[in-house]
Structure 1
Amino acid sequence: MRGHDLINTFLPDELMVEIFAHLPTKSNRDACSLVCRRWLRLERLSRSTLRIGASSSPDLFLHLLPSRFSSLRNLHIDERLSIPLPLPLPVPARKRSPKVHCLADKSSSADTNPDSLCLSDAGLTALGDGLPRLERLSLIWCSNVSSDGLKSLAHKCTFLKSLDLQGCFIGDEGLAAIGQCCKQLEELNLRFCEGLTDSGFTELALGVGKSMKSLGVAACAKITDVSMEAVGSHCRSLEILALDSEFIHNKGVLAVAQGCSHLRVLKLQCINLTDDALKAVGAACFSLELLALYSFQRFTDKGLRAIGNGCKKLKTLTLIDCYYLSDKGLEAIATGCKELTHLEVNGCHNIGTIGLESIGKSCKHLTELALLYCQRIGNVGLLEVGHGCKFLQALHMVDCSGIGDEAMCGIAKGCRNLKKLHIRRCYEIGNKGIIAVGEHCNLLTDLSIRFCDRVGDEALIAISEGCNLQYLNVSGCHLVGDAGVIAIARGCPQLCYLDVSVLPKLGDMAMAELGENCPLLKEIVLSHSRQITDVGLAHLVKNCTMLESCHMVYCSGITKAGVATVVSSCPNIKKVLVEKWKVSQRTKRRAGSVIAYLCVDL
């Protein structure tokens, strides 16, 4: 009945909180919190997850947090992000608690004390006092937090299951306290925690070894094989391990492999490891599903052969800058790991056509393939993938000079489930290969063809006739002009993202068609397209009211008037990248927060 608030009259707080808890997205919850003060209060009570920045007196913010979000279980704090200071809100003096008043006095002197702008041990102490049932906590680059704050948190938040300390300069005492108090800890990230040594790490492993399932260590110069031996001895349930260190050798990885038989994910960037480490993994880690090897110059095909022989459940393999791996190593993986679904070969210059052929022949379940900077792989290898990998859904290629239209035709005809195709600087691929994709891959929704000089309008016309794209990037394809983009606009009404930068032939006609036929467009990149003018831009934004991002630097036909048109016509705009001199004072006043400049001096 009009004029009566039936919801607030009849629904109790408990039921409202339950309703808010079932809302699917954060935007839905935010919208509900704006209805009235009661809904704001109840929606806050129902929130279990919160992500905030950590600048402008974060200690004060953490003192106020528990009273507003009492059901919080997951908190992510990132010092790279800023948060608004709550102090300017008008609060009567008699309602302020002594604690908050004291913090307000401290925050007012932030200019004289730069440390007050960063999260400190006092903030962590307040967090532990107010949210003792916290389960997941991320402290990203909170460099002022020390062992004292972490010890206080550990003694109060004993239910912690996940802790991310990336970039925090904590010491051994804080880590040992986590091991002693947080017996349910399952996930721990220690990337760039430079203050830690083997002593604190060993204490941690002793305390939480039974529950620990995921561990990440990177750039911790004082963590050595001793710590990894502690992991192997005590963390028997470990499933995920990511190591990036110059100070860990075979001995540490051997201990982990022999002690952690449930290991499913292993990511290694340790330059001192050799084939012996991979042999140990292959001999003991039979549950391994993901293996990523980065920048190894001491691994050879012997190590990959051990993985192929032992890790029969391997599904994802990433090889980046492993210079001494060759076709023989990839053949061993193909022969032994029949369940492989994801393969990335990046900068491994000794892997060529024969290795990829073996993948195509043996790995029938492959769904994603990335070939980056693989100069020795030719058409025959990709043809075999097209023939054997019928379930392939994503293909990425960068700087593969030996792959051309013949291989693309084979992929198109054999991999009818292809949904994503990303190609960059593969100069032998032209219209013929992309036309075949348009004719046969009707499920394709994501296409990126960057700086492929032989791809032109004919290819885009075929794509528009056979595929309903949501994402398209044809940056630097100089043969693409109005005809191809017009065909895409008319054939792909679901288009959300479009990059048509560095296209000298593209003009206003294409912009008009996009504006007429692609109302869902959210992001567009027009930079270095000199034929586009204010007129085309006006046609584009006329119906594309959902546009959120527009890049248009070095577009000589676009003036201050065109920039103003974008800002005034797009209510959802969040970012406009443009030269500084093309932004009028009126536009700056109206939408200064969404304007970004390529170079402030232009």
Structure 2
Amino acid sequence: MGGEAPEPRRLTRALSIGGGDGGWVPEEMLHLVMGFVEDPRDREAASLVCRRWHRIDALSRKHVTVPFCYAVSPARLLARFPRLESLAVKGKPRASMFGLIPDDWGAYARPWVTELAAPLECLKALQLRRMVVTDDDLAELVRARGRMLQELKLDKCTGFSTDGLRLVARSCRLLRTLFLEECQIVDNGSEWIRDLASSCPVLTTLNFHMTELEVMPAELELLAKNCKSLISLKISDCDLSDLIGFFHSATALEEFAGGTFNDQGDLAKYGNVKFPSRLCSLGLTFMGTNEMAIIFPFSAILKKLDLQYTFLTTEDHCQLIAKCPNLLVLAVVADTCKKLQRLRIERGDDEGGLQEEQGGVSQVGLTAIAVGCRELEYIAAYISDITNGALESIGTFCKKLYDFRLVLLDREERITELPLDNGVRALLRGCTKLRRFALYLRPGGLSDVGLGYIGQCSGNIQYMLLGNVGETDDGLIRFALGCVNLRKLELRSCCFSERALAVAILHMPALRYVWVHGYKASQTGRDLMLMARPFWNIEFTPPNPENARLMEDGEPCVDSQAQILAYYSLAGKRLDCPQSVVPLYPA
């Protein structure tokens, strides 16, 4: 009262981030705040504020995902983040899963394993995906990190054997997770499972699903007895009747996949199979109508159900799903599961050997899913028919969707409605949380106008896969002008020229990785040099005239088509390109 009014406190950049009079943020507080920032993009932005924040980000970063193993050198990454506890590295392009990348392409784990052997004292978890990992790599890894390693995930990797797995099992006594799904592993015996049971009592997750490793039921039973915390087991094929002892001992088990019904119809053989009481996620192989009853006693508590490799009819699916009201994830089909969050509809068996009847999902099913399952966050579907209206329904009702992937199969001679321009626009406008988007159609499925709609309406999407879209180079340029935040792009079976591809890539400022297969290619890739710039590696796989044969439908064979891989890299020129890959650099 009566004194001078205090001068308003002005918020300045120095005051807000740690400079100026009275505005210094303590080091401990910044470390705590950084600990709550999990999104890598937010971390990246924070590290650019000032040198102090950059240093604190480096010291407090616990996990890093390297989206492409040639984007940065292992030494540079580990010098930048010396206290990492978890590291994930992705190798070969995703197309390797479909036989489009040669086996000798690269993505060797050796440089990463060698670098990990020394500096990272805190590393507890390592994930390698689509990489070549040898037994020697595993031996070097466990020598350096075995006493601390708690999680090892080798996802779709090749090059190692069960001898390497024995080393891991014997050396990593704190191991909680061992993930080997879809790896190509040389089977030298199943002793590695017995070693896990003897040496890793805290194991909670073991996954060697979709491998060809032999399963010995007695060793799985020993694993269950010794590893009381085992909550997830996914195995290669093993008859369910041989796992009765395992299920009896695995009292904590919540997730199981890989059990098979090798003798369909023999109810007496499987009548004594009793699943653990906590089981809420299940995937069984070769299950038929008569075997469904084994699931009924606990179907009400199931949250995840994988029916991909079964002999069930449409009626069987409906009967089984009706007994599973709490499904959150379903790998085949959904009717009206109100809580459903993830839906994956596979293409089925094209040869007709695994399905009792050939079914197909069309716009009718997709519309019903959209209306009835409004909690959906993920949809991946192979469909036989489609309309704009079905896509519009998804945009109207599935507001939580962050990942949408649709493949239009070529089984039907005629599709009800093409192009899908308006439906795609409505879906993208309605599903504002989308971050990943894949659309693989048939010729004529999306016009240049529709491709432009994707560019206009996908400002938040970071990953995109497009196949058989657009009509001319003009459509590609329209698309590129709108994709300001797109970081990863894959294109297949497109009509675009090399020049248009190079120009389009220059128009996408956030793009860090692009892979193209099947386009109007030259023998030299000369026009691709238009997109040359610092730190941008361009790899060109020329069309192979020796394989330039036609398939039954008149289309060129996939291994004769040219490929482009371009990516930002702080590691410089790649030194291990196979002869089939031509690196392009400015003269």
TM-score, normalised with respect to structure 2: 0.64
310 and 598 in structure 1: CA distance in 2 versus 1, 3 angstrom threshold: farther
The CA deviation at 1:587 is 0.8
Q: Is the 8 A contact 2:502 2:528 kept in 1?
A: no
Instruction: Return the match for 2:88 from 69, 76, 87.
Output: 76
The CA deviation at 1:289 is 0.5
Q: Is the 8 A contact 2:193 2:220 kept in 1?
A: no
Q: Is the 8 A contact 2:424 2:450 kept in 1?
A: yes
The aligned counterpart of 1:30 is: 44
- Say which SS state the counterpart of residue 186 (structure 2) adopts: coil
Q: Is the 8 A contact 1:118 1:142 kept in 2?
A: yes
For residues 511 and 543 of structure 1, the distance between their equivalents in structure 2, rounded to whole angstroms, comes to 10
Task: Give unpaired runs (5+ residues) of structure 1.
Answer: 82-113, 347-355, 376-397, 457-475
Q: Is the 8 A contact 2:69 2:89 kept in 1?
A: no
Q: Is the 8 A contact 1:480 1:503 kept in 2?
A: no
The CA deviation at 1:221 is 4.0
The aligned counterpart of 2:230 is: 238
For residues 430 and 67 of structure 2, the distance between their equivalents in structure 1, rounded to whole angstroms, comes to 42
The CA deviation at 1:222 is 5.4
For residues 371 and 251 of structure 1, the distance between their equivalents in structure 2, rounded to whole angstroms, comes to 28
Greater percentage in helix: 1
For residues 113 and 392 of structure 2, the distance between their equivalents in structure 1, rounded to whole angstroms, comes to 61
Moved more, 137-146 or 586-595: 586-595
- Say which SS state the counterpart of residue 291 (structure 1) adopts: strand
**Match runs of 1:511-522 below 5 Å:** none
The aligned counterpart of 1:390 is: none
213 and 526 in structure 1: CA distance in 2 versus 1, 3 angstrom threshold: closer
Establish whether residue 479 from structure 1 lines up as the match of residue 418 from structure 2. Answer: yes
Establish whether residue 290 from structure 1 lines up as the match of residue 281 from structure 2. Answer: yes
- Say which SS state the counterpart of residue 258 (structure 2) adopts: strand
The CA deviation at 1:264 is 0.8
178 and 541 in structure 1: CA distance in 2 versus 1, 3 angstrom threshold: closer
The CA deviation at 1:266 is 0.5
Letter of the 1:288 counterpart = L
For residues 78 and 326 of structure 1, the distance between their equivalents in structure 2, rounded to whole angstroms, comes to 38
Instruction: Return the match for 2:64 from 45, 50, 56.
Output: 50
For residues 447 and 190 of structure 1, the distance between their equivalents in structure 2, rounded to whole angstroms, comes to 25
Q: 1:106-151: per-residue Cα shift (whole Å, max 9, x none)?
A: xxxxxxxx99982598666x34xx4454332335642143675365
The CA deviation at 1:482 is 6.6
Q: Is the 8 A contact 2:190 2:216 kept in 1?
A: yes
- Say which SS state the counterpart of residue 580 (structure 1) adopts: coil
For residues 288 and 121 of structure 1, the distance between their equivalents in structure 2, rounded to whole angstroms, comes to 36
The aligned counterpart of 1:339 is: 326
The aligned counterpart of 1:265 is: 255
Larger radius of gyration: 1
**Match runs of 1:19-418 below 5 Å:** 19-34=33-48, 38-51=52-65, 61=74, 69-76=81-88, 118-119=110-111, 126-127=117-118, 130-138=119-127, 141-145=132-136, 148-149=139-140, 152-153=143-144, 156-157=147-148, 160-164=149-153, 167=158, 169=160, 175=166, 178-179=169-170, 182=173, 184-190=174-180, 192=183, 193-194=185-186, 197-209=189-201, 211-218=202-209, 219=211, 221=213, 223-245=215-237, 248-250=238-240, 252-268=242-258, 270=260, 272=262, 279-281=271-273, 283-294=274-285, 296=286, 299-310=287-298, 312-323=300-311, 325=312, 333=320, 337-345=324-332, 400-401=359-360, 405=364
The CA deviation at 1:314 is 1.7
Establish whether residue 569 from structure 1 lines up as the match of residue 558 from structure 2. Answer: no
Letter of the 2:521 counterpart = K
Task: Give unpaired runs (5+ residues) of structure 2.
Answer: 1-11, 94-105, 350-356, 545-560, 563-587
For residues 2 and 440 of structure 1, the distance between their equivalents in structure 2, rounded to whole angstroms, comes to 42
- Say which SS state the counterpart of residue 305 (structure 1) adopts: helix
The aligned counterpart of 1:391 is: none
Q: Is the 8 A contact 1:481 1:503 kept in 2?
A: no
Higher relative contact order (CA 8 A, sep 6+): 2
For residues 135 and 124 of structure 2, the distance between their equivalents in structure 1, rounded to whole angstroms, comes to 22
For residues 78 and 572 of structure 1, the distance between their equivalents in structure 2, rounded to whole angstroms, comes to 19
Letter of the 1:293 counterpart = L
Number of aligned pairs? 494
Q: Is the 8 A contact 2:338 2:374 kept in 1?
A: no
The aligned counterpart of 2:4 is: none
598 and 329 in structure 1: CA distance in 2 versus 1, 3 angstrom threshold: farther
- Say which SS state the counterpart of residue 220 (structure 2) adopts: helix
Q: Is the 8 A contact 1:154 1:178 kept in 2?
A: no
174 and 343 in structure 1: CA distance in 2 versus 1, 3 angstrom threshold: closer
For residues 344 and 33 of structure 2, the distance between their equivalents in structure 1, rounded to whole angstroms, comes to 43
Letter of the 1:262 counterpart = A
Letter of the 1:48 counterpart = K
Instruction: Return the match for 2:472 from 523, 529, 532.
Output: 532
The aligned counterpart of 1:7 is: 18
216 and 279 in structure 1: CA distance in 2 versus 1, 3 angstrom threshold: farther
